[in-house]
């Protein structure tokens, strides 16, 4: 992935209007993706690619497009549509739809690919493009590389009679809501439970209240009035303080916070305490282990708290760490035969229910565990004791160059020597933003803060020296 020109760990992302997040580039991206998918379909038709395919090999390429609520989504939706139609692909427009909803409908409509227009938890000034395969999974590296190569070709439009057509899917929200409800048992009910949902003024603002209300919960919302500019602004899974206040003020049993595109989720307990993906993984893994329905290991990432690893070990549950990014969690789950994994940030994958991280589905899986045990969330997660952890985001240009400098390498070695045998340090460049993330865990919170600050200063100095 590090050699890619455009694709990062989660698609293509950047500042709206700055290349490549510009209308002209997205137009070309749509055409390139359509051309590559058409070539692959032609290869399937010739029998060059093995494996069963239930889709009609003679129809046109079909691509599904969904988006979050940021204002630039209108522009990029139109650009993608034009590029895909120019390549001869048919298009189905979903409108505002959570990222996992696009993945689901890509499979449900038997499309060749799904495209999401979103910058996830970023502010409205950013946007991005990410792809799903026809199976509702992130594109493999080879297909992304082929699309990048096709972007270098001249823009070419197929003959008029071969142009694709586009239409909107009017019942997309209902279809996805029904899928979400189908992931829990028929007898499962949230009747009597008071929930506050924080939709981050993003893609879940319609579907999340619908799902939880139809399952019987008494639902109130915050962050459910998008205006195109307020996505993730002071609300959502990256700013859960507003939800914590609302849960306490409204006397709710739980709060559920999604991010702008709906693939992350964080839970706020009844007392207003904010939890993260590690808490969710612990509660779900604990219950599924007791039910003997947890094959393989639980998969976390380099950022998962060491306390989670220790707690799972105490229950004889294997734990595997993946690189940061839900695509890498998915790879490790498949490799090791697991079904449960996720990130501290709130990407939680339940592969017995769906192919990708889904905030609504993960929240329902957690609530189903609590309903079956009769426990509160606080009671269920009491056995998870986390080590103090500090993560500092150091905004620098040339993050990877800074990490490779002798100054940073020496500072990292010094911190690792201090923490050897009693803590962890993770230093990495963000795959989606110009950031270096400094993460340290140890029992002494003051020491953690001090060492994290020490490393952050080394990164800043190195970045300035290489600027």
Distance between terminal CA atoms of the chain? 24
Tell me the angle at which helices 359-373 and 172-182 cross, rounded to the nearest 10 degrees: 30
- The upper half-sphere exposure of residue 104, i.e. CA atoms within 13 Å in the direction of its Cβ, equals 26
User: Any bridge partners for residue 129, and if so which?
Assistant: 12, 117
SS3 8: strand
Tokens of 366: 């957690």
Closest CA to 322 of 340, 312, 351: 340
My answer on whether omega of the bond before 20 falls inside 30° of 0, hence cis, is yes
Closest CA to 391 of 414, 417, 424, 420: 424
Handedness of CA 288, 302, 1, 121 (dihedral sign): positive
Return the exposure string of 396-417: e unless at least 16 CB atoms fall within 10 Å of the residue's CB, then b: bebbebbbebebbeebbeebee
- How far is Cα 432 from Cα 157, in angstroms, rounded to an integer? 32
Is 120 a residue of the active site?
yes
Q: Which of 72, 120, 133, 304 is catalytic?
A: 120
Closest CA to 423 of 310, 338, 293: 310
SS3 80: helix
Residue numbers annotated as active site: 120
């Amino acid at each position: 992935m590090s050699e890619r020109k455009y694709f990062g760990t989660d698609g293509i992302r950047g500042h709206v209007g700055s290349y490549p997040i510009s209308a002209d580039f997205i137009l070309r991206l749509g055409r390139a993706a359509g051309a590559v998918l058409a070539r692959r379909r032609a290869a399937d038709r010739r029998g060059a690619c093995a494996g069963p395919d239930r889709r009609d090999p003679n129809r046109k390429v079909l691509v599904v497009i969904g988006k979050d609520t940021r204002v630039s989504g209108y522009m990029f939706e139109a650009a993608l549509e034009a590029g895909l139609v120019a390549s001869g692909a048919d298009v189905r427009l979903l409108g505002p739809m959570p990222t996992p909803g696009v993945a689901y409908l890509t499979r449900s409509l038997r499309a060749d690919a799904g495209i999401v227009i979103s910058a996830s938890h970023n502010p409205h000034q950013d946007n991005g493009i990410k792809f799903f395969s026809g199976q509702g999974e992130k594109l493999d590296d080879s297909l992304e590389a082929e699309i990048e190569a096709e972007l270098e070709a001249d823009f070419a439009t197929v003959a008029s009679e071969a142009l694709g057509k586009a239409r909107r899917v009017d019942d997309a929200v209902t279809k996805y809501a029904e899928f979400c409800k189908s992931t829990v048992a028929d007898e499962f009910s949230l009747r009597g439970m008071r929930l506050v949902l924080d939709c981050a003024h993003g893609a879940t603002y319609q579907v999340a209240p619908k799902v939880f209300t139809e399952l019987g919960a008494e639902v109130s919302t915050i962050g459910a009035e998008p205006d195109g500019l307020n996505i993730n602004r002071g609300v959502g899974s990256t700013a859960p303080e507003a939800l914590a206040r609302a849960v306490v003020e409204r006397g709710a049993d739980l709060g559920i916070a999604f991010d702008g595109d709906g693939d992350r989720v964080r839970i706020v307990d009844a007392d207003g305490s904010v939890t993260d993906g590690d808490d969710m993984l612990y509660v779900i893994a604990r219950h599924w282990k007791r039910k003997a329905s947890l094959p393989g290991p639980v998969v976390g990432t380099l950022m998962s708290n060491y306390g989670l690893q220790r707690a799972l070990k105490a229950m004889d549950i294997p734990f595997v760490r993946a690189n940061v990014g839900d695509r890498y969690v998915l790879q490790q789950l498949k490799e090791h035969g697991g079904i449960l994994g996720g990130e501290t940030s709130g990407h939680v994958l339940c592969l017995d229910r769906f192919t990708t991280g889904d905030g609504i589905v993960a929240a329902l899986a957690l609530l189903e565990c609590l309903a079956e045990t009769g426990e509160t969330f606080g009671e269920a997660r009491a056995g998870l004791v986390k080590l103090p952890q500090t993560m500092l985001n150091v905004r620098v240009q040339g993050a990877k160059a800074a990490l490779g400098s002798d100054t940073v390498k020496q500072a990292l070695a010094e911190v690792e020597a201090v923490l050897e045998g009693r803590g962890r340090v993770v230093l990495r460049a963000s795959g989606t933003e110009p950031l270096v993330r400094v993460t340290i865990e140890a029992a002494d919170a003051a020491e953690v803060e001090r060492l994290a600050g020490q490393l952050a200063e080394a990164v800043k100095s190195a970045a300035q020296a290489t600027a």
